[in-house]
Amino acid sequence: MLKKTLLKKWSARIAAAAILGGLLVGTSLATSASAGTCTTRGCGGVFTNASGKGIFVSNNWCWSTTSLYYGNVLPCSPTWNDSAYNSYFLLLGGHSTTEFYYYYDTDAYRIDPHCTVSFEAGSSFTSITNSSSSPMWRKITNIANMKMVKYTC
């Protein structure tokens, strides 16, 4: 009788732990999968290209601890596609990432070697130069709205 009672108690505890574990794992996966994507225009990072030169943008960023990456493509966004998540594409002058559904939350842009980009922020300008011999990807922080006005090489 004691053996049967203990077996019932442990079975109930194991079942409860399994259910709770499943709920936690389900929540964790849902949160991770939805992080970094959004479906409303302007809900994430926005990149506007007001220059006459195209620039590569990505809708994914691979790291939480760094804001720069040197290389042709991001390891987590290896595909050139303006209609898919985890991708990158060439944003032409006169366009914004708000025109591309899968880029409503743009996470990075690329500066080619020995090039400089200039951004307008209200009445001030900021310029960033890549003096490296490799393309440099820069993270767009959260919901920043970046307007590139000049790209020179």
Q: Is residue 41 domain-resident?
A: no
Burial track 73-111 (b if 16+ CB lie within 10 A, e otherwise): bbeebeeeebeeebbbbebeeeebbbebebbbbbbbbbb
Around Cβ 63, how many Cβ atoms within 10 Å? 12
Rounded to whole angstroms, how far apart are CA atoms 60 and 62?
A: 7
Considering the domain architecture, whether residues 139 and 120 belong to the same structural domain is answered as yes
Considering the domain architecture, whether residues 89 and 128 belong to the same structural domain is answered as yes
Considering the domain architecture, whether residues 10 and 82 belong to the same structural domain is answered as no
**Under 8 Å between Cβ of 78 and 84:** no
Domain count of the chain? Answer: 2
Structure tokens at 18: 């399994």
pLDDT of residue 28: 27
Considering the domain architecture, whether residues 77 and 129 belong to the same structural domain is answered as yes
- Domain range for 23 is 1-35
**The pTM is what?**
0.74
- Kindly report which listed range (76-90, 102-116, 135-149) carries the lowest average pLDDT score: 135-149
Rounded to whole angstroms, how far apart are CA atoms 76 and 58?
A: 10
DSSP 31-46: HHHHTT--SSTTSS-E
Considering the domain architecture, whether residues 29 and 58 belong to the same structural domain is answered as no
Considering the domain architecture, whether residues 72 and 8 belong to the same structural domain is answered as no
Rounded to whole angstroms, how far apart are CA atoms 68 and 34?
A: 23
pLDDT in tens, 87-108: 999 999 999 999 999 999 999 9
Structure tokens at 108: 């990075």
Is residue 141 very low, low, confident or very high in pLDDT (cuts 50, 70, 90)?
A: confident
Which amino acid is present at 104? Y
Considering the domain architecture, whether residues 26 and 50 belong to the same structural domain is answered as no
pLDDT of residue 36: 59
Considering the domain architecture, whether residues 85 and 120 belong to the same structural domain is answered as yes
